[in-house]
Homo-oligomer: A and B are copies of this chain.
Amino acid sequence: MSAPDRLEAPGGRRWPVAVLGATGAVGQTFVRLLARHPWFELCGLAASERSAGRLYRDAARWLEGDMPAAVAYQEVVPCDPAVVRAPIVFSALDAAAAQEIEPAFARAGAVVLSNARSFRMEPDVPLLVPEINPAHLSLLDAQRRLRGWDGAIVTNPNCSTAVLTMALAPLHQAFGVRGLFVATMQAVSGAGYPGVPSLDILGNVIPFIGGEEEKIETETLKILGRADGDTISAAQMAISAHTNRVAVEHGHTVCVSIALERRASVGDALEVIQQWRGAPDARGLPSSPPLPLAYSDAADRPQPRRDAGAGGGMTVTVGRLRPDPVLHLRLVAMGHNTIRGAAGASLLNAELMAARGMLPDP
């Protein structure tokens, strides 16, 4: 897709979209990324009853840079499909709220691109990463049939899983991954706002993030699984995850040891990583980075503060590929947790659907 295409929506008209949970940290990232989006036009800011009825500038404590002028004086509305009429909604809701609200929107005909964990592991809900498993969108037929929805729910992975699977995909495709040891060092923005109290994290490490290890150990299998008509055959691999919170603003760092089905040298693995461009469908979309996966040959990279912004936050950077004394290979992967690991992922999912003609007409 050439550059001019990126500036114009596939059908020539931009889709009106809304953000559910627009006042929180991920919601704000959606708002920021949508502020100048070529295909989507942000026309609805929805949040909890507590925020509804207030101006966005009063309801949201804006966290980064300046709030886009266009949204500051919009009124926040409740997360109700009778009020929010956009055919495409991005959900930054927490799991409890998403559990009720997202199906209501799907039932009302909206396509819900969700960052919540509530439906990720449902057998008929795509857990989509456009570069890795665009074929998983085939689940939507079953989803509509089973649930009787006019709309749909499409999810993206948990933030650390998003970074991990990007690094694994080329190796899994080339050699098969059958086992993993994963240790994460995750940024505080992954916990939202107010999130992690400063007294807990200044000069400290918290070696626990509730539910995070389970997400890595299950979501990875589905993402790397094979679509088989109405179902996904999960990848078969044993995963051991250790998750930690560190005093970093943005960027989750993941140390990974990998066991392969078919042994590969570091050289072979490096070539596979460096040549990987992801699925063709995922290229050239408005949020696609020049490279979905970049390899740094510096001895001490990737680093969150220096690499999280690569590709506008959509590039995952890998480094330190080397042999593993217990399994086969070791590496470090790092990516931006609120962009590649949250709002940017949902956006890319929507763009893939748009490019494939899977969104309702604007």
User: Are the CB atoms of B25 and A199 closer together than 8 Å?
Assistant: yes
Q: How far is the CB of A292 from chain B (nearest CB, A)?
A: 16
A175 within 8 A of B: no
Question: Which segment, of A129-137, A140-148, A326-334, faces chain B?
Answer: A326-334
Closest to A203 in B: B203
Closest to A183 in B: B183
A299 within 8 A of B: yes
Known interface pairs A240-B181, A240-B257, A257-B242; A207-B332 also in contact (CB < 8 Å): yes
CB-contacts of A183-201 with B (<8 A): 183, 185, 188-189, 193-201
- The residue that A326 contacts in the complex, of B181, B185, B310, with Cβ under 8 A, is B181
Chain B residues, CB < 8 A from A200: 194, 198
User: Are the CB atoms of B257 and A253 closer together than 8 Å?
Assistant: no
In the assembled complex, the Cα of A28 lies from the Cα of B196 at a distance in Å of 19
Q: How far is the CB of A38 from chain B (nearest CB, A)?
A: 21
Chain B residues, CB < 8 A from A309: 65
A64 within 8 A of B: yes
In the assembled complex, the Cα of A255 lies from the Cα of B180 at a distance in Å of 14
- The residue that A202 contacts in the complex, of B247, B327, B330, with Cβ under 8 A, is B247
Interface size on A, residues (CB 8 A): 60
Q: How far is the CB of A343 from chain B (nearest CB, A)?
A: 15
Q: How far is the CB of A16 from chain B (nearest CB, A)?
A: 30
User: Are the CB atoms of A207 and B303 closer together than 8 Å?
Assistant: yes
In the assembled complex, the Cα of A326 lies from the Cα of B257 at a distance in Å of 11
Chain B residues, CB < 8 A from A203: 202-203, 247-249, 304-305
In the assembled complex, the Cα of A63 lies from the Cα of B200 at a distance in Å of 8
- The residue that A185 contacts in the complex, of B180, B205, B327, B332, with Cβ under 8 A, is B205
User: Are the CB atoms of A238 and B208 closer together than 8 Å?
Assistant: no
- The residue that A197 contacts in the complex, of B64, B197, B305, B334, with Cβ under 8 A, is B197
Q: How far is the CB of A325 from chain B (nearest CB, A)?
A: 5
Chain B residues, CB < 8 A from A306: 63-65, 204
In the assembled complex, the Cα of A320 lies from the Cα of B188 at a distance in Å of 21
- The residue that A207 contacts in the complex, of B201, B244, B253, with Cβ under 8 A, is B253
Chain B residues, CB < 8 A from A201: 198, 202
A206 within 8 A of B: yes
Chain B residues, CB < 8 A from A325: 217, 238-240
User: Are the CB atoms of B206 and A300 closer together than 8 Å?
Assistant: yes
Q: How far is the CB of A23 from chain B (nearest CB, A)?
A: 14
In the assembled complex, the Cα of A193 lies from the Cα of B200 at a distance in Å of 9
User: Are the CB atoms of A255 and B247 closer together than 8 Å?
Assistant: no
The 26 sampled A-B contact pairs (Cβ below 8 Å) are: A64-B306, A66-B310, A181-B181, A181-B183, A183-B255, A185-B185, A185-B244, A185-B246, A194-B200, A195-B197, A198-B198, A199-B249, A202-B202, A202-B248, A202-B305, A203-B249, A203-B304, A204-B303, A205-B246, A206-B303, A208-B320, A240-B330, A242-B257, A244-B253, A246-B247, A247-B248
For the A-B complex with A198-B247, A239-B326, A240-B257 known, give 13 more contacts whose Cβ atoms are closer than 8 Å: A180-B326, A181-B326, A185-B246, A188-B198, A194-B197, A196-B198, A198-B200, A202-B203, A205-B248, A207-B253, A207-B303, A240-B330, A247-B247
A-B interface, 9 closest residue pairs, ranked by CB to CB distance from nearest:
A183-B183, A194-B197, A242-B255, A208-B300, A204-B305, A240-B326, A181-B181, A207-B332, A188-B198
